[in-house]
Amino acid sequence: EMPYWQRAAWLFGLFGVDVPGERIVELMPVAYGPQWDDERIAPVEEVVPGVHVLELWHGPTSAFKDLALQCMPVFFSEAISMQQAAGTLADDFLVLVATSGDTGKAALAGFADRAHTGIVVFYPAEGVSAIQRAQMVTQRGENVGVFGVRGNFDDCQNAVKAAFNDEAFNAELHDAHGLLLSSANSINWGRLLPQVAYYASAYADMVASGGVVAGDPIDVCVPTGNFGNILAGWYAREIGVPISRLLCASNENKVLADFIGSGTYDISAREFVTTPSPSMDILISSNLERLLYHLAGPESVREWMASLASEKRFRVDRDTFGRMREVFLGDWVSNDESLAVIRRVWDETGYLLDPHTAVAWEVAER
C-alpha cells in the first residue's frame, strides 16, 4: 500500500544510510516527486499472461537510470552539507561519469546546480544515439561539463578509473581547487541501492495486482551490459525478495552471456559491436567484479582482475561457477532479432518495447 518513495525510504533505512531516518523521509519525495510522469514511479505492466514488464522510463530523462540518479544526488548533497556543518569536511566534490548514453543525461539532470558538487560526463563520441547526445550537450547548469571521447564506452570508463587512481592528480585537485572526486557510475554504492528498491517495489505491486501470490518466487530477465542493473536484482534476492532465477540478457556484445555459460571472461579477441541497444554496448562489465567478490572473496577477485588487465581474460574456479549458475542464466540476441521482437510484440499486443527491453523479452521467451 506504500507509495514508491515510502518503499524506497524504508529500504534505505534498512541499509544504515548516513542520513537520519526522519530526514530520509523528507528527502525521498524530492527524488520521486512531480518530475515523474507516473505517480507510481516504476509501474509493472502485465503485457501477456504471466509476463510482466517493469517500466523504468517515467523519469525526467526517460532513462532507467533516473530511478537512481534522481535519488542519489539528493542524498549525496545532503551528506556533504551534514559533514560540512559538523566540521568534518571542508571540500566540495567533482563527480566523474563515464556513459554509454543513458547514465550521462540522468546524472547531469540529477546533479545540475546541486550544492557542493560539480559533474563532468564523458561519452563515446560515435557510440551514443543522436537523442542521447543532444540530451547531454544541451544540459543546463552552472556546474556541468560534457565531453565526447574518441573511443568506446570502455575507453571512457577506463579513463575515469585511471583518474581515481592517479594520486598526483587527486592531490593537485584537492590542494589547488578544494575538490574531491566521486562517481555517479555504479562503482558508487549510492547508485545501486536505489536500484534495489525497484525490485522490491515491483514484487509488492505484483502481489497487490494478483500477478503473484505473496512468497511465491519469480524469475527476472534483465538487459544488461555493465552488470549493475542485474546485480541490484541479486542484492534484492539476497535481502529476501522472492526472486528465483536472474536471466542476463546480452546484445551482440555478449561477453556476459558467454561468461555465465562458460565461466570464462574473454575479451582478448572480441570486437566491439554497435547495436540498437547502445546502453549495453560494453565489454568490460564493472559490476561483475562485485558479484565475484561476494561469491569468491577478495583474493580470488584480485587475481582474476589482474588477469583481465594483463591477458584480457580470466576463468573462475568450478565452485564459484557453480554458485553463480545456481542463480544466473545468460543468453544473447542479435541486432536483427531484437528489432524483429519489437515488431512482433507490437503487432501481437500493441505494447511498444524499447531495443533494450526487446533483448530481455527474447531471452525470457527462450
Q: What is the pLDDT of residues 194-210, one digit of tens each?
A: 999 999 999 999 999 99
List residues with catalytic annotation.
Answer: 65
pLDDT band for position 16 (50/70/90)?
confident
Looking at the fold, whether 322 and 211 belong to one and the same domain comes out as yes
Are the CB atoms for 201 and 220 separated by under 8 Å?
no
Last residue of a domain, one of 161, 183, 205: 183
Looking at the fold, whether 284 and 160 belong to one and the same domain comes out as no
pTM of the model: 0.93
Q: What is the pLDDT of residues 133-182, one digit of tens each?
A: 999 999 999 999 999 999 988 899 899 999 999 999 999 999 999 999 99
Last residue of a domain, one of 168, 183, 198: 183
How confident is the prediction for the chain on average, in pLDDT?
95
Q: Average pLDDT, stretch 50-58?
A: 97
Number of domains in the chain: 2
- Name the residue range of residue 225's domain: 44-61+189-365
Residue 339 pLDDT more than 90? Answer: yes
**313-315 and 218-223 beta bridge pairing:** unpaired
pLDDT band for position 68 (50/70/90)?
very high
Alpha carbon distance 221, 234 (integer Å) = 12
Question: What's residue 208's pLDDT?
Answer: 96
9 domain-assigned: no
Looking at the fold, whether 140 and 232 belong to one and the same domain comes out as no
Q: What is the pLDDT of residues 225-278, one digit of tens each?
A: 999 999 999 999 999 999 999 999 999 999 999 999 999 999 999 999 999 998
Task: Lowest mean pLDDT of 20-34, 118-132, 230-244, 352-366, name the range.
Answer: 118-132
125 domain-assigned: yes
Cα 359 from chain centre: 17
Q: What CATH number is associated with residue 111?
A: 3.40.50.1100
